[in-house]
Structure 1
């Protein structure tokens, strides 16, 4: 559901879904180029600084933060202290987007639904990483298939990709009316999609996974999600950003009486009395545990984690994430380095 925004004069401004596809693209482009580009100043505007390949010195190894494959064995042997190599950011970046368009993304109770917020995230990544010879490709994960879009450069390619995402078919509004056994096509899981992306892109680049990460979570809350290991394997070769999309009603239930909840993935229905405060408390506790499970799995996989909510300003969340990443990188680079000559 998309709710119109109020302008300063009290008039309702149309929401993203109320606009034509071309007007949606124009609004997204203006939002990114005016708000994000204006706030993210610097030589590189991207969401993450690429690790690159040009040697830029060495520094001491930090357990739990650095990858063993980046060890500088020559400096380690000379100083008898473990060191890792540092490299300058590449000026050309290959970016791949894995966008979750499964039925669970067709949900929202704020200004945007999760699918629209995912498109906004894709627009931000695309416009911020475009230029300077960068190329952008995408995997669109739908309920029964994965659509692949080859990596290309240029504004036209990005706009065509955004049009496809906006036009992608949504789940049937009456999804619960059909018997799940009647669905012949096997569903495509997030883990399978990440594994497919890992196999298809051997060259190091930036991988952005946009999803609610609800697929593959353990039912009892114990264990790891099915997508954690593929995400970890992806992170061994690439730089990975996990964009988690959530809605406030997934975190807590309002007191609105008797409601019918429908699982968009399976069509299963259940009537719930939201007037019961104990039920609302249990729901909120379970939702919090679920989000913590996702956060911990993303961290264990070594990916950067950006959370966007349909009831918050997504541009502000992106700017805060980028500034946090730059601050961490700046702090790491501000520590003493050991160069190739062994001097500090």
Structure 2
């Protein structure tokens, strides 16, 4: 992308997403994520009513009397965006391309984070770790992230969500609020274990961006289709009812497996089509978390 065009796009997305985060998301973001992170404060003697799960068994053994760990609310969060940059994000039949919506959603979350004095970082992944931007604060950092969201060129085209989750678990020792933003065109079984481990350590949220042509295709006759991740091409007879039903079943089965995997690990997920209003979907996600 040319420098002047990139600057214009960065400015356009900044104006739109900063406005959304200031006027719409600020309160919901704070309610949904603030206070969920807890840090160790001190050890004191056990008192009636304390949760036995907080007992510090090492201190208890030394003093021959029960002691519990006391935690306090974290005033500052670290937010990570795990952004899928695989080949399938380039698909766009209805609405905008997936990558454009992914960039806007990520930028909106980023601006919401810095308005709440949180750090924000990004991990770009395909079937490998493409780039890691450490969490920082400030508008300059946000604009750098937006430029990368719009103009980053990955080395690979495949998808490995499990690999991204393992990297998150290993790289960030402190509890983090992490958003996985992807179309989730990956085998849920391949990242099931990594998802559970990451969700146990971090506050994990999944945002699926998909095109409705991923779910079903119209009867438009014989067409040539290309897999944007593998590069493979084939002819597809969309006039065949069996072919259209097979595609719909493939999507439905994969969605069911993905949803079950998220539920098993206690991970919230929002699925947003490229021709839908992502603002409404994010609001619903934040509000759902905020009333817990």
Indicate the TM-score class for this superposition, using the shorter chain for normalisation: 0.7 to 0.9
Aligned-residue offset at 1:29: 2.6
Q: 1:244-270, CA deviations, whole angstroms, 9 ceiling, x for partnerless residues? A: 111110001011111112111212222
Q: 2:80 & 2:129 partners in 1: Cα distance? A: 18
Aligned-residue offset at 1:41: 5.3
| Aligned match for 2:37, one of 35, 48, 52 | 52
- The equivalent of 1:203 in structure 2 is 174
Instruction: Please state whether the residue corresponding to 1:202 is helix, strand or coil.
Output: coil
1:283 aligns with 2:250: no
| Cα gap change, 1:75 to 1:52, in 2 (>3 Å) | closer
What is the TM-score of this pair, normalised by structure 1?
A: 0.70
What RMSD over aligned residues (CA atoms) do the two structures have, in Å? 2.9
Q: How many residues align?
A: 267
- The equivalent of 2:230 in structure 1 is 266
Q: 1:151-190, CA deviations, whole angstroms, 9 ceiling, x for partnerless residues? A: 111111011011012111279xxxxxxxxxxxxx796622
- The equivalent of 1:72 in structure 2 is 51
Aligned-residue offset at 1:99: 0.7
- The equivalent of 1:314 in structure 2 is 278
What is the TM-score of this pair, normalised by structure 2?
A: 0.81
Aligned-residue offset at 1:113: 0.8
1:297 aligns with 2:229: no
| Aligned match for 1:166, one of 147, 150, 171 | 150
Q: Tell me whether 307-316 or 21-30 shows the greater mean CA deviation.
A: 21-30
Q: 1:49-100, CA deviations, whole angstroms, 9 ceiling, x for partnerless residues? A: 4413279xxxxxxxxxxxxxxx921799xxxxxxxx9977532110111111
Instruction: Please state whether the residue corresponding to 1:96 is helix, strand or coil.
Output: strand
Q: 1:47 & 1:154 partners in 2: Cα distance? A: 21
Instruction: Please state whether the residue corresponding to 1:92 is helix, strand or coil.
Output: coil
Aligned-residue offset at 1:128: 0.8
- The equivalent of 1:108 in structure 2 is 92
Q: 1:87 & 1:32 partners in 2: Cα distance? A: 35
Q: Tell me whether 22-31 or 190-199 shows the greater mean CA deviation.
A: 22-31
Q: 1:200 & 1:191 partners in 2: Cα distance? A: 14
Q: Which has the higher helix share?
A: 2
Q: 1:312-343, CA deviations, whole angstroms, 9 ceiling, x for partnerless residues? A: 0111211122122223x2xxxxxxxxxxxxxx
Q: Runs of 5+ in structure 2 lacking a partner?
A: 41-49, 56-68
| Cα gap change, 1:133 to 1:209, in 2 (>3 Å) | same
| Aligned match for 1:213, one of 152, 175, 184 | 184
| Cα gap change, 1:40 to 1:161, in 2 (>3 Å) | closer
Q: Runs of 5+ in structure 1 lacking a partner?
A: 1-18, 56-70, 77-84, 172-184, 218-223, 330-344
